[in-house]
Amino acid sequence: MKVSLVVTVLNEAKTIEAFLDSIEKQTLKPDEVVIVDGGSTDWTINKLIKPEMNLKVLVYAGSNRSQGRNRGIQMAKNEIIAVTDCGCILDKNWFLEITKPFADEKVNAVAGYYLAKAETALQKCVAPFFCITESEIKKLARKKNFEFLPSSRSFAFKKSVWSKVGGYPEDLNYCEDLVFDQKIKSSGFNFYFASKAVVYWPQRKTFKSIYKQFFNYATGDGQAFFSPYQTHSLKISLIYFRYFLALDFLVLAFRHPVFGKILILGFLFYVFCSMVKHFNEVKEIRALYLLPLIRFLADFAIMAGTVKGILRAIKLSKISLFHVKENLS
């Protein structure tokens, strides 16, 4: 059984060496490594010159993550495809664990998972917003009929499955893996969960980069907001609902002071819940104020990013409709 590892990169000069090093340290090496560069303007391409690793490097300037993955998978020569993200560090047994289940011919897709790599208090506090914890994954895995939809940081599938569902959605640069997962699931394929196939994901180090990360993911969620494959739409809608409700109470407070008191109590309760929800995972005294700050930062980034994503989806749908009409005329 031969397997191709497909990775997309864009301006990863700061992280590419550690990532490649984690590939070299794998207990089972990929038969082929295909790296698709989206048009890096830093030293990424230079650092991919590794004759000893025999990397297949493709430059697809201007491509987004989905387009790059699809091109890499298309060019890969093996039926089993493993995908991950540059910027992550692979556990030394990751490739072995993510591909081992394919020994059973009935397995079509294998879900691994990722853990946060966090050093500072801020990184530890932001980690629960983006990553599942090891204890959570073990708890979920004990449930009957447990099915874990993977991020493309830790995923493997048959090329025939990728082809049947139409590949990654090329109009999406974020949230594309969730939509891809849902397409696989709705096509009748099951996910095998590989509990030891783990990669480590270094967390953002500044509030600015954290905001940008929330915003970018929300843009992808917004683009897929009305898609039958989107599962986050209700959660995002509830964020808007909370703040519209708070705004209503603020307006009413000018006429009826009791609404102001309710608003203050609601705010304090929200801050308290933000602390309590993840404090045991973080176990840092600074989490008492960092967790609520990140919660509010996330809320506003998600609301702004979702609006941008929805507007982008509308724009793209109009462009597609224009091309259809143009072809018919």
SS3 280: helix
Query: Which of 134 and 26 is assigned the larger pLDDT?
Result: 26
Which of the 8 DSSP states describes residue 82?
Answer: E
Q: Give the C-alpha separation, 230 to 189, whole Å.
A: 18
The pTM is what? 0.88
Which residues, 6 or more positions from 173, have their beta carbon under 8 angstroms from its beta carbon?
64, 65, 66, 216, 219, 220
Contact 235, 303 (CB under 8 A): no
SS3 195: strand
Ramachandran class of 175: left when φ > 0, alpha when ψ lies in -120 to 50, beta otherwise: left
Q: 15-65: per-residue pLDDT in tens?
A: 999 999 999 999 999 999 999 999 999 999 999 999 889 899 999 999 999
255 residue type, one letter: R
Average pLDDT over all residues of the chain: 92
Run of H or E residues at 8? strand 3-9
Q: Domains, the chain, ranges and CATH?
A: 3-203 (3.90.550.10), 211-216+223-328 (no CATH)
What does the pLDDT read at residue 280? 87
DSSP 9-69: ESS-TTTHHHHHHHHHT-SS--SEEEEEE----SSHHHHT--GGGT-EEEE-TT--HHHHH
Q: 246-274: per-residue pLDDT in tens?
A: 999 999 999 999 999 999 999 999 999 99
Q: 88-116: per-residue pLDDT in tens?
A: 999 999 999 999 999 999 999 999 999 99
Location of structure tokens 């609902």: 241
Q: Give the C-alpha separation, 70 to 162, whole Å.
A: 9
Distance of CA 65 to the CA centre of its chain: 11
